[in-house]
Amino acid sequence: MGIAEIRDKIEKGETALGIELGSTRIKAVLIDSTHTPIASGSHAWENSYVDHIWTYSLEEVISGLQACYRDLAQDVERQYGVALRRVGAMGISAMMHGYLAFDKSGSLLVPFRTWRNSITGEAAEKLTELFQYNIPQRWSIAHLYQAILNEEPHVADIDFLTTLSGYIHWKLTGRRVLGIGDASGMFPIDTERKDYHAQMLEQFDRLVEEKHYPWKVKELLPEVLTAGEDAGTLTAEGALLLDPTGTLAPGAPMCAPEGDAGTGMTATNSVAVRTGNVSAGTSIFAMLVLEKELSKVYPELDLVTTPAGDLVAMVHANNCTSDINAWAGLFGEFARDMNLELSADRLFTYLFEKALEGEADCGKLLSYCYLSGENITRVEDGRPMFVRMPDSRFTLGNFMRTHLYSALGALKIGMDILLKEEHASLDRLMGHGGFFKTPKVGQKIMADAMEVPVSVMETAGEGGAWGIALLAAFRKDRKDGETLDTYLNERVFSGQNGSTELPDPEGTAGFLSFMERYRSALPAEKAAAEALN
């Protein structure tokens, strides 16, 4: 499609816009009627650790959203010589879980508590026992109940509880709704009814009955919508919030806001039963669409849903690439001090490729990439740690391979439960995220570690922003009775190319040897947090 044709589609609004707020970057992707990205924008940001809480201020949320959209609009004008005045459809996605509580006036009651916090252990444990359904510490209901257990006075004033994507969608449309995938990380979902689990809602209300709060829990939660349903339109106030220049016109139909897990499934065409994907960046999580319920409750496994409402087992680890990024920063500083011209892309490519030169078992080296606590391994506070023994082989290749292995350590524990204990069926595992940016390296390490083939599509680099743009396009273009997986298979991914790496027996054996050290030395990681508090 030529520039003139794309320009015409932009001017006619034959596009869909997706914006995703990730942990370290806000990204916008504009796609045309063929679902091809035609422009993008981004904004870098970072969470803050304030009063022992991982958070982002709402001022940062709005200013970051505006900066990302401005970068997108500038890209459109730079490439096509036209102002971005309208979009055909739009969607917002963001990090799942967390706690955003508002009063009747719409004021935030306490600072945003993100998924990264490990401060709800007591609540998560009690709710898991009550529901007989795993409630991880990240989930919004765990945050709410922990605030109740802590006797925080703001709880009585809550009028609305939502996630980050739900908050932005509310500001853009006036609608208090949430996509079912994101909602499933707030409160358990009944996948038959496609709504919050009624019995568990009643159990929670009875649990806090003696507090005499002026609300029932369902009254606080967003309305649940599945992919393709009407989630409102961009209002005049919302358009001005997103684009303070006033150039963007209101009226674009909006899809339900979704979490980054749901957009990852969409972007990798992993919404059908027996498909799975793994998103590896600041955090790492794998999603497998299940054929049936699990046989029992596992604290290592979340049960969430696809954007269409099908049951998904999610293995979520809080830590993945942050420690790798920190070491790369150190090597980059050394290179600059030595007057070496080395771009970030070249540096990361070199270090990742060096990892493949390392020994399969990393030469007996060990690291933990825990910048924050890790629920799967029961580590409450993270302390990144690197350890070697007197007979370890301390080479750069082994060092980098160790850190790539460590990024997958917690995930491996959960995946073994799914694949080896529950015998979940998996036809393919699709990879996306920064871990896979260097061709073949992260993909190969992942295949060896998880003992399954791992595929990466050419579009994997577009990530969740592209995924939510696809959900926006589905909202606009959906035919009567058309399912999301049919839409993706027949209208989006037909003919797409990708690459697949198979597990290698030697690599798998080396990773399993690393995991023996990883599991046995966990008490040392926990002790580091206790000693260095």
pLDDT in tens, 379-405: 989 999 999 999 999 999 999 999 999
Return d(Cα 404, Cα 402) in angstroms, integer.
6
Contact (Cβ atoms closer than 8 angstroms) between residue 123 and residue 146: yes
Instruction: Look up tokens 């046995």; give the residue.
Output: 520
175-193 residue pLDDT tens: 999 999 999 999 999 999 9
Q: Give me the pLDDT at residue 2, please.
A: 87
Task: State the average pLDDT for the chain.
Answer: 95
The secondary structure element, H or E, covering residue 410 is helix 396-416
Evaluate if residue 279 carries a pLDDT over 90: no
347-384 residue pLDDT tens: 999 999 999 999 999 999 999 999 999 989 999 899 99
Domain parsing of the chain, residue ranges: 260-318+421-501, 322-412+505-531
For residue 108, give Cα distances in angstroms to 57, 128, 181, 241, 298.
10, 28, 24, 18, 33
- CB atoms near residue 423 (< 10 Å): 8
211-225 residue pLDDT tens: 999 999 999 999 999
Return d(Cα 87, Cα 17) in angstroms, integer.
7
Q: Give me the pLDDT at residue 459, please.
A: 65
φ and ψ at residue 516, rounded to 5 degrees: -60, -45
Return d(Cα 47, Cα 53) in angstroms, integer.
10
Instruction: Look up tokens 């150190």; give the residue.
Output: 330
* Both structure tokens of 50: 């304030």
Q: Which CATH class for the 260-318+421-501 domain?
A: alpha beta
Return d(Cα 279, Cα 299) in angstroms, integer.
20
Return d(Cα 413, Cα 394) in angstroms, integer.
26
Contact (Cβ atoms closer than 8 angstroms) between residue 13 and residue 32: no
Q: Give me the pLDDT at residue 461, please.
A: 58
* Both structure tokens of 174: 């006036």
Q: Give me the pLDDT at residue 458, please.
A: 74
Cα four-point dihedral sign 454, 353, 383, 333: negative
Q: Residue 247: which residues within 8 A CB-CB, separation 6 or more?
A: 73, 83, 84, 85
CA 27 from centroid of its chain's CA atoms: 13
φ and ψ at residue 340, rounded to 5 degrees: -95, 130
Return d(Cα 28, Cα 70) in angstroms, integer.
10
Q: Give me the pLDDT at residue 367, please.
A: 98
DSSP 3-state of 497: coil
Return d(Cα 525, Cα 329) in angstroms, integer.
23
132-158 residue pLDDT tens: 999 999 999 999 999 999 999 999 999
Half-sphere exposure of 470 (CA within 13 A, CB side): 28
Q: Give me the pLDDT at residue 178, please.
A: 98
Range with the poorest average pLDDT among 163-167, 314-318, 321-325, 521-525: 314-318
φ and ψ at residue 471, rounded to 5 degrees: -65, -35
For residue 106, give Cα distances in angstroms to 17, 60, 232, 380.
26, 17, 19, 33
pLDDT-derived band of residue 509, with 50, 70 and 90 as boundaries?
Answer: very high
Instruction: Specify which residues 92 forms β-bridges with.
Output: 19
Instruction: Look up tokens 């970072």; give the residue.
Output: 46
- CB atoms near residue 79 (< 10 Å): 14
Evaluate if residue 460 carries a pLDDT over 70: no
Contact (Cβ atoms closer than 8 angstroms) between residue 166 and residue 222: yes
DSSP 364: G
